[in-house]
Each structure stands twice: as structure tokens, then as C-alpha cells.
Amino acid sequence: SSAALISRVILAGNLLSQNTQSRDSMNKAKYLTKKTQAASVEAVKMLDEILLQLCVSIPVDVMPGEFDPTNYTLPQQPLHRCMFPLSNAYTTLQLVTNPYQANIDGV
């Protein structure tokens, strides 16, 4: 099967969509947004569950992108491990910078 030939998964940025950014909460008074939860929180939880499914069987490199919660200027720093409590338990999860250079199977 061709799946047996996959040696690594590289997720190359924009793991969260622009729609998960709650920039509008910056313009509201703090007391109005105190009990609301940003869409990005739920999106990161879902991403962690997906990463967990991948990390149990294959190395995964996660590189941040424009809409991910990291700095905007290049080089972007890796996403923080605390964002992924489930998949962080696996050494197959590698949080990398953007840009990112890798040597995979000699390529």
C-alpha cells in the first residue's frame, strides 16, 4: 500500500483559519468578552485531537503560518507545546519554525 511509503507528515502553516481569529474582541470592553470563548480555542483543541491521531503512528512536523498563534514576522517561532496537551506526549510531534528546513530520508 502507498500509505506504508509515508515516512513523515509536514503540516506547513495556517493550521487555523482566519475565521478563528477574534480580532473583534480587541475593540470591545473587557467585561463584554469575559465569558466568551474565542473560536481559536476550540479550533486548537480539534487540531490537538487530529495531531494525536497522526502522532501515534508517524512523525509529524508542525510549522506555523499566517493565521496561527505565533509572531507574524519571519522567522516565526514554533507553536508552543502547551497548546497541544494530548499530542505533546509523543516524541513524534515536532513543532518547528517557519521557514523550516528538513532532511527526510536523504532528500
Could you report the per-residue pLDDT of 55-104, keeping only the tens digit for each? 999 999 999 998 888 888 899 999 999 999 999 999 999 999 999 999 98
Q: Report if residue 31 sits inside a domain.
A: yes
Amino acid at 63: M
The pLDDT of residue 60 is 98
Q: Report if residue 48 sits inside a domain.
A: yes
The pLDDT of residue 105 is 83
Q: How many CA atoms are closer than 13 Å to the CA of 23, on its beta-carbon side? A: 6
> What distance in Å separates the CA atoms of residue 45 and residue 40, rounded to the nearest whole number?
9
Q: Decide if 17 contacts 102 (C-beta within 8 A).
A: no
Q: Report if residue 24 sits inside a domain.
A: yes
Structural domains in the chain (count): 1
Q: Report if residue 101 sits inside a domain.
A: no
Q: Report if residue 36 sits inside a domain.
A: yes
The mean per-residue pLDDT over the stretch 24-38 comes to 56
The alpha-helical segments, DSSP class H, found in the chain are 30-33, 39-55
Q: Report if residue 64 sits inside a domain.
A: yes
**Owning domain of residue 53:** 2-95
Mean pLDDT value across the chain:
85
Whether 22 has a pLDDT exceeding 60, the answer reads no
